[in-house]
Amino acid sequence: MVVVEGVYSMEGHICRLPEIAKIAEDYSAFSVLDDAHGFGVLGRQGRGTVDHFGLNEKVDVICGSLSKSLASTGGFVAGTRDVIEYLRSHSKQTIFSAALSPSQAATAMAALEIMQTEPEHHERLWSNTRKYRAILKNLGLDTWESETPAVPIVLGSKERVYPSGRPCSKRVCSPCCRSPRRCRRARISSAPPSRRCTPTNSLNASPTRWRTR
C-alpha cells in the first residue's frame, strides 16, 4: 500500500503524485492520499490534489479533514462503494467511533456547497497567497519554496521564532509553542477573511506554527 499526503502542511509543498501513482501502479499497490491540506485549495473549485494533477482515476482512496477548508470537525474517506463497505465493516476506527454530529455534518455540507458555487473565495485564497508570499519575499524571508497557502517562514533558530510571533499575536494570530526545544520555523497560513486564525502547536513536527482552522 502506498500512503501519501497531498500537501505537506509544514512546508507547503505539493506531493509528486504523478511519480508516486506510477510507482503504485507498477507494483499493483493500493494507493491512499491524505488530502487534508489539498482539499479546498488545489484543483478545480478546490477539489484537491488528484484533480490538480488530473489523476482522479489513479488513486484508490482519498481521505481528508473537515476541519480545514470545510470549517467543521471530523473527516472523510472517499473510495469505491466496495472499499467503503469494507471499511464500514472491518475498520476498528470506524466501528468503535461515534458518528459525526448533525451540526458537524451540516456545517461541512454548507461549506462544500459554498466551495462549489462561490468560486471567488478560492480565487481570493490564491490571490492572498501570492500577495503574502511576495511580501515575505520582499522582506528577505525564506519560505522554503512553498507552493500553496501553507507558507513556512524558515527562521533558523528558536531564538528568532519567539520574537517573530509577538506582532502576530496583536492581530489575528497568537503564537503557541509548548515545546520550545526544537522550534525552527513559524508558519502562518493565508485564508479568506471569513476564517480566523487559531494557534496550534506541532510537537511531533517540532516547529512553531500558526494555522487556520
Q: Which of 126, 161, 125 is nearest to 141 (CA)?
A: 161
Percent of the chain as helix, strand, coil, to the nearest 5:
40, 20, 40
Phi, psi of 95 (to 5 degrees): -60, -40
Measured from the CB atom, the residue of 110 and 135 that comes closer to ligand PLP is 110
C-alpha cell at 63: 481521505
- Binding flag, residue 78, ligand PLP (CB under 6 A): no
Measured from the CB atom, the residue of 9 and 148 that comes closer to ligand PLP is 9
State the distance between the two ends of the chain, measured CA to CA, in whole angstroms.
Answer: 30
Are the CB atoms for 179 and 203 separated by under 8 Å? Answer: yes
- Binding flag, residue 129, ligand PLP (CB under 6 A): no
C-alpha cell at 190: 493565508
CB of 34 to ligand PLP, least distance (A): 5
- Binding flag, residue 201, ligand PLP (CB under 6 A): no
CB of 65 to ligand PLP, least distance (A): 3
- Binding flag, residue 14, ligand PLP (CB under 6 A): no
Measured from the CB atom, the residue of 38 and 165 that comes closer to ligand PLP is 38
CB of 8 to ligand PLP, least distance (A): 8
Q: How many CB atoms lie within 10 A of CB 79?
A: 17
Point out which residues bind ligand PLP (CB under 6 A): 5, 9, 34, 36-37, 65, 67, 75
